[in-house]
Amino acid sequence: MWERVRILLAVVILLLFGHNSFAVDLEWDSPSGPQEVDGYRVHWGAESGIYTNSQDVGNALQASLPIPLGSYINVTAYNEHGESDYDGEVYYTGNGNGIQPASGGQITTLFIGSGLGEGSRELNGSNQYLDTAILPVSGTPFTLCAWVKLDQLSSVKGDEQCAAAFGDDSAITFLNLRADMNDRLQFNSGPLPTAIATSNNTITAGTWEHWCGIAALDNERRVVLNGDWTNSGINTDSKDPWNALDNFNVGRLFMNSTAYDYLGGKIAHVAVWNVALDQSEIQSLSECSSPDTVRTMDLVAYWPLVVNDNDDIGGNNLTPHNSPTWSTIDYPTCP
């Protein structure tokens, strides 16, 4: 799970160690979720993004450190798996305003994600998947998103690859989010003839990418790859499959007693909302905002797929089939 760690504005309270170093009180939020944090490090330096000094402050959510005026400050978390990335920083102005966002504006968050014991589900592309018979939604509007890292492109594998899908055990009725044979992202709805929204940008294998399908209405669907709204695909054909749908699968589509489109690669942070998310919300998710921080009241299912297959929101836990494995060192991160 991701969490944005907010530095509460530091207060300059005491002159120490010469004329330009002050005791700066810093406080930050701990990340939530199943990962364990062993401690935090505060980093600072005279140039943005270049931290020549650091201090391990232990497993505490606050610290008071002698930091020179004009310093750029960041915080990371660490545990036995490694240390988190930087994302955003604050600037110690010393001009009476204390701490300010380094780049102006309102940026006061630090990203803690990488190296926190996070993980992903790894699927073999031939028979491994996860499923539940309880549908997270029963009609439009809804949004379905996931982080995916394909082992190989569908054009190379010779088959579409499905991140997540609603299906009908006994008929050709479905809704799925998949990589097509032209290596574009599709949001696809049946019965035949299918209604397909296809992205204009293409998927890259071996890279974590953010996949989203948005169904505002039964005749209004959009697919967005990596938050690129400009290159998103739109389809307005009318399809209403909801009376027939009876399963939800991650890593494949199952319909008409047949399995299709097994995904080969890694998948994490599958989430469903019962609303059509907008452009800014999809963009935020593609930049590593945790699903449980976006339109929280409308989030109906969230499977981080980090250390278990549980639904953190609705309790609709997935069942793994054919022994999919875990990756503890490969999961989505953002620069």
3-state secondary structure 67-79: EECCCEEEEEEEE
Count CA atoms within 13 Å of residue 97 on its CB side.
11
**CA separation for the pair 141, 106 (Å, rounded):** 32
Question: Which of 62-76, 166-180, 192-206 is predicted with the least confidence, judged by mean pLDDT?
Answer: 62-76
Encode pLDDT of 27-42 as tens digits: 776 665 545 788 888 8
Encode pLDDT of 233-245 as tens digits: 999 999 888 888 9
pLDDT at 96 over 50: no
Encode pLDDT of 278-334 as tens digits: 999 999 999 888 888 889 999 999 998 887 899 989 999 999 999 999 987 788 876
Count CA atoms within 13 Å of residue 254 on its CB side.
15
Sequential DSSP letters for 261-311: ---EEEEEEEEEESS---HHHHHHHHTT--GGGSSGGGEEEEE--SSS---
**CA separation for the pair 91, 98 (Å, rounded):** 8
Per-residue exposure over 47-67, b if at least 16 CB sit within 10 Å of its own CB, e if not: eeeebeeeeebeeeeebbbeb
Q: How confident is the model at residue 159 (pLDDT cuts 50, 70, 90)?
A: very high
pLDDT at 263 over 90: yes
Higher pLDDT, 124 or 98: 124
Q: How confident is the model at residue 107 (pLDDT cuts 50, 70, 90)?
A: very low
Q: Which residue has the tokens 């000094």?
A: 53
Angle in degrees, CA 157, 127, 168, rounded to 5: 100
**CA separation for the pair 290, 235 (Å, rounded):** 28
Average pLDDT over residues 198-218: 96
**Residue-level pLDDT at 25:** 67
pTM above 0.85, yes or no: no
**Residue-level pLDDT at 88:** 58
Q: Determine how many CB atoms are found less than 10 A away from the CB of residue 130.
A: 23
Question: Which domains are assigned to the chain?
Answer: 3-112 (2.60.40.10), 120-327 (2.60.120.200)
